[in-house]
């Protein structure tokens, strides 16, 4: 597996990927910053936790969410009128939660880096420059 889809950026209509190398990529923008080594470790841990064999080189975990006792009860038991939940399904939800929490670190650092890059570009570029990004997500657009 070469990359993990961690989210989708709506305005730019681009997926955000965590690569095996520790880079985070969205469109034209690549995060290659101070947490690259930590992101490589997160990539390995997610691959080990999910141990899914996909036919493509991409694992999509963008739909994973945080599960606690209340969420499990409301979404899995009460909504479907079930009396219990299997241990296998609980394990799956626990893995989803663990992956979700790891990816929150990646997403926050990526947002910080994009914001910093956008501020740097706006600081040095001319106000009326047509190639100047007017919003942070414009950095993702493919030229």
| Sequence ranges of the domains in the chain | 3-140
Local confidence pLDDT in tens for the 143 residues of the chain: 789 999 998 888 889 999 999 999 988 889 988 999 999 999 999 988 887 656 678 889 999 999 988 888 888 888 777 788 888 989 999 999 999 999 999 999 998 988 888 888 777 777 676 666 666 666 776 55
CB crowding 98-136: b at 16 or more within 10 Å, else e: bbbebbeebeebbeebbeebbeebeeeeeeeeeeebeeb
Report the alpha-carbon distance of residue 33 to residue 79 in Å, rounded: 43
Report the alpha-carbon distance of residue 37 to residue 16 in Å, rounded: 18
* Amino acid 85: pLDDT: 84
* Amino acid 6: pLDDT: 94
Of the chain, the end-to-end C-alpha distance in Å amounts to 27
* Amino acid 56: pLDDT: 75
* Amino acid 143: pLDDT: 52
* Amino acid 136: pLDDT: 67
For 44, how many CA atoms within 13 A lie in the half-sphere containing its CB?
Answer: 8
CB crowding 31-47: b at 16 or more within 10 Å, else e: bebebeeebbebbeebe
Q: CB of 70 within 8 A of CB of 78?
A: no
pTM equals: 0.81
């Amino acid at each position: 597996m070469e990359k993990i889809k961690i989210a989708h950026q709506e305005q730019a209509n681009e997926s955000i990927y965590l690569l095996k190398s520790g880079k985070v990529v969205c469109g034209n923008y690549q995060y290659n910053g101070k947490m690259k080594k930590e992101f490589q470790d997160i990539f390995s841990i997610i691959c080990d936790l999910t141990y899914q064999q996909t036919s493509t080189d991409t694992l999509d975990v963008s739909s994973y969410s945080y599960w606690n006792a209340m969420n499990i009860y409301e979404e899995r038991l009460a909504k479907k009128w079930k009396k219990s939940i299997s241990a296998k399904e609980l394990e799956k939800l626990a893995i989803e939660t663990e992956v979700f929490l790891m990816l929150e670190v990646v997403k926050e650092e990526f947002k910080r880096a994009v914001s910093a890059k956008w501020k740097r570009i706006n600081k040095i570029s001319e106000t009326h420059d047509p190639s100047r990004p007017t919003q942070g997500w414009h950095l993702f657009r493919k030229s």
